[in-house]
Amino acid sequence: MANADVHHSSTFAPVNIAVIKYWGKRDTALNLPTNSSLSVTLSQDDLRTHTTASCSLKFAKDELVLNGEGQDISGARTQACLRELRGLRKEVEAKDSSVPKLSGMALKIISENNFPTAAGLASSAAGFAALVRAIADLYALPSPPAELSRIARQGSGSACRSLFGGYVAWKMGAEKDGSDSAAYEVAAASHWPDMRALILVASAEKKDVSSTAGMQATVKTSELFTHRAQHVVPARMTAMEECIKNRDFATFADLTMKDSNNFHATCLDTSPPIFNMNDTSHAARGEGDMRYTFDAGPNAVVYYLAETEAQVAGIFRNIVGDKTGWDNSRGRAIQAGEVPKGMEIAAEMLEKGVSRVILTAVGDGPRRTEEHLC
Amino acid sequence: MANADVHRSSTFAPVNIAVIKYWGKRDTALNLPTNSSLSITLSQDDLRTHTTASCSLKYTRDALVLNGEDQDISGARTQACLRELRGLRKEVEAKDGSVPELSGMALKIVSENNFPTAAGLASSAAGFAALVRAIADLYALPSPPAELSRIARQGSGSACRSLFGGYVAWKMGEETDGSDSAAYEVAPAQHWPDMRALILVASAEKKDVSSTVGMQATVKTSERFAHRAENIVPARMAATEECVKSRDFATFADLTMRDSNNFHATCLDTSPPIFYMNDTSRAAVRVCEAINTHAGRTICAYTFDAGPNAVVYYLAETEAQVAGAFRGIVGHKTGWDNSRGRAIQAGEVPKGMEIAAEMLENGVSRVILTAVGDGPRRTEEHLC
């Protein structure tokens, strides 16, 4: 008789923002990158994807719901993840016939983000990391995080970094089958816990050009791209891992800003050009302790250390203190500080173009929860 | 007895807009560039600097007036031009004792632009070209345009290209004294006379970062700059000269757009980064792309100098699709009410361009319609 049990497992997974950027694939099917990348995992207290993976004999077919809307689960990316995970579950079932044959059941995956999707806030990273983690937990897989990272990578490249907390590198790998292209932890969040991030959400509109299409246009048409991938990034990866180990913020910050600019310069050098930053983004860069980085969208992520919160976050509180995002325990600790001289026009532009702020810090990797969405 | 005669000569000199960009100097004193560049000289009917160079024994010292305001003439750049020109005049006077000793007289130079200064509309190019040309005419120098180009280059690099009409290249040269760094004509305007340009003036405010400061920051801090200068530009120069000679607009346009983006990418890769393009600029790019997509072939090309103004190149035969599309978006701005504008009907806004159109509507202050044109020309209209 059919067992109508619903098996489920839920997880929270984090967003990560790269400081050495991933842009360009050497294999589009397996999401193998043209250069390594490095990111900071952000705290799930502030930004997270909450995903419940469930399976049951009574489910008719695989289903994925994101923020209340049905999603196409037939895409190659999602299918690659499901296929790999089911394969690993089959191995578990082959070794122990007493466990339920979950691999044969249809999956229902429900996911909710507490931040805007597809606007450069690293939503596919958190999303695929959550999906892979939740299903891996559902299936009780013995796989180590590196293996799950490799699977998540096939869903969305940068997702492989969201399987870890703290400071995370994604080694580009050399193998054609991608078996050596996965993320690893450079340092745990607890190694350098006073890293803070302030996100200026410039626009919650969808991106102009999707990352997937854009990066391959760059690979194909930018003459500066190869130089970035082969020369600029490898040196920066090494330097960045060093500064994280040494907690050298000044160098970390310098490399972060340079790499953000270098990445965006490559986008501009693409035919047709990709513009991720707008005038609001440009206004966010400033002098002194502000260390910005931008992903494939106009939102600014400003990194700083807790000890300089008054100077850094305080300035932004003065400029955009009336926007959503300050009314929480992090925000309440921040007083509005003085706006630096000469920043009046930039301040006005931020005031107009920023819709909300998100205050956060470095955080841990995915964590299991008993809160289920279905 | 002192002769109170005022000797004078006037010239109109053109603006030029580069399609392969100059950015970066290998010698800041002599304005020697890190790569060659190529430009189109625009018609003086629409954009020009009008300069009168005069000298007289009754003048007490050199003076320069631009758009009615006194300028500092003591700067190294202007002094370099004056010194070289006076030196050449001295040679003329040494050979012929009957000519007036103009080289010893103070100069008064009055200049007027009919376009905004220092906002990326190539004003220093036109200005120094006019200054050099006017003084050379005043001094009746036998120097060929290449020599005057070399002198103008020391005033403002891109000025060397404004000594010529049509399609002009500035060979970067190798000599440390800059003797081989000057412009030359790739083809005259009448070789390809139906080249048109539409300029969207995004803002007449002063630039964020001056070219001189900006380009050296790029040379110093951009890791990809050297690659542009050594590898990318030389190939593009050769290819662009080919397209001009064979009148191949589609390839010309593609190279133009790529080089503009590559140049601005280098600016973005500078520490601190330089942003010359703004949201209005980017909207102009999107509209150009839509025009080309709609036409099924490349019929227009955008390019941006060190400022937010878009220059859109197209051929006269596609004026309705290109200029017409922009007329449909910014038709009520200043600049359409002249003989060029009257020939252009407002066309449809390309599909999907509603947001870009709105951004252009908000950010464009005026348009300038022009075409490829000739080099400096003498005039008897004097400003002083």
Tokens representing residue A147 in the block: 């293996």
Contacts of A273 in chain B (CB under 8 A): 261, 285
Maximum average pLDDT range among A141-145, A261-265, B221-225: A141-145
Give the pLDDT score at A355.
Answer: 85
Question: Is residue A154 within 8 Å of residue A177, measured between CB atoms?
Answer: no
Contacts of A257 in chain B (CB under 8 A): 271
Residues in CB range of A148: below 8 A, 6 or more apart: A132, A133, A136, A141, A163
- pLDDT above 60: residue A118: no
Give the pLDDT score at A208.
Answer: 58
Tokens representing residue B50 in the block: 């009008």
| Residue from the list A228, A264, A285 with its beta carbon closest to the beta carbon of B224 | A228
Task: Confirm whether the ipTM is greater than 0.85.
Answer: no
Per residue in B262-317, pLDDT (tens digit) is 999 999 998 888 888 888 899 999 999 999 999 999 999 999 988 888 999 999 99
> pLDDT band at A209, cuts 50/70/90?
low
Rounded to the nearest angstrom, the minimum Cα separation between A127 and chain B is: 30
Contacts of B203 in chain A (CB under 8 A): none
| Helices A233-246 & A249-268 angle (0-180, nearest 10) | 150
- pLDDT above 70: residue B163: yes
Mean pLDDT of the residues in chain A: 88
Only one residue has tokens 């600014």, namely A300
**Nearest residue of chain B to residue A255 (CA atoms):** B271
Report cis status (omega within 30 of 0) of the bond before A193: no
> pLDDT band at B253, cuts 50/70/90?
very high
Full DSSP string of A157-180: GGGGGGGS-SEEEE---S-TT-TT
Least confident of A295-299, B130-134, B188-192: A295-299
Contacts of B302 in chain A (CB under 8 A): none
Average pLDDT over residues B14-29: 93
Distance between CA atoms of residues B288 and B302, nearest Å: 7
C-alpha count within 13 angstroms, C-beta hemisphere, residue B306: 26
Give the pLDDT score at A287.
Answer: 43
- pLDDT above 50: residue A282: yes
Per residue in A72-89, pLDDT (tens digit) is 888 888 999 999 999 999
Average pLDDT over residues A279-290: 60
Give the pLDDT score at A278.
Answer: 73
Only one residue has tokens 């008993």, namely A370
Give the pLDDT score at A210.
Answer: 66
Distance between CA atoms of residues A267 and B261, nearest Å: 9
- pLDDT above 60: residue B35: yes
| Residue from the list A224, A275, A279 with its beta carbon closest to the beta carbon of B227 | A224
Give the pLDDT score at A28.
Answer: 87
| Cα R_g (chain B), whole angstroms | 21
Average pLDDT over residues B40-58: 95
A188: left (phi over 0), alpha (psi -120 to 50) or beta: beta
CB contact under 8 A, A272 and B289: yes
Average pLDDT over residues A282-309: 73
Give the pLDDT score at A24.
Answer: 86
> pLDDT band at B1, cuts 50/70/90?
very low
| Residue from the list B228, B257, B268 with its beta carbon closest to the beta carbon of A264 | B268
DSSP B160: G
Least confident of A232-246, A260-274, B161-175: A260-274
Question: Is residue B193 within 8 Å of residue B41, measured between CB atoms?
Answer: no
Report cis status (omega within 30 of 0) of the bond before A234: no
- pLDDT above 60: residue B110: yes
**Nearest residue of chain A to residue B224 (CA atoms):** A224
Mutant choice from A261, A287, A349 vs B, greatest count of B C-beta within 10 A? A261
Task: State the Cα angle at A216 between A212 and A221, rounded to 5°.
Answer: 150
Domains with residue ranges and CATH for chain B: 2-188 (3.30.230.10), 195-371 (3.30.70.890)
Contacts of A264 in chain B (CB under 8 A): 268
Per residue in A81-113, pLDDT (tens digit) is 999 999 999 999 999 999 999 999 999 999 999
Distance between CA atoms of residues A258 and A250, nearest Å: 12
C-alpha count within 13 angstroms, C-beta hemisphere, residue A221: 21
Distance between CA atoms of residues B23 and B262, nearest Å: 11
Give the pLDDT score at B120.
Answer: 57
Full DSSP string of A99-163: S--GGGSEEEEEEEESS-SSSSS-HHHHHHHHHHHHHHHHTT----HHHHHHHHHHH-GGGGGGG
> pLDDT band at A114, cuts 50/70/90?
confident
- pTM of the full structure: 0.79
Give the pLDDT score at A216.
Answer: 82
Rounded to the nearest angstrom, the minimum Cα separation between B3 and chain A is: 53
Residues in CB range of A120: below 8 A, 6 or more apart: A207, A276, A294, A295, A296, A297, A298, A299
Residues in CB range of A34: below 8 A, 6 or more apart: A23, A24, A25, A26, A172, A219, A225, A229
Question: Is residue B53 within 8 Å of residue B131, measured between CB atoms?
Answer: yes
Rounded to the nearest angstrom, the minimum Cα separation between A201 and chain B is: 17
What residues of A are in the B interface, CB distance below 8 Å? 223-224, 227-228, 231-232, 257-258, 261-262, 264-266, 268-273, 275, 278-279, 282, 285
Give the pLDDT score at A2.
Answer: 55
Mutant choice from B262, B286, B359, B362 vs A, greatest count of A C-beta within 10 A? B262
- pLDDT above 70: residue A206: no
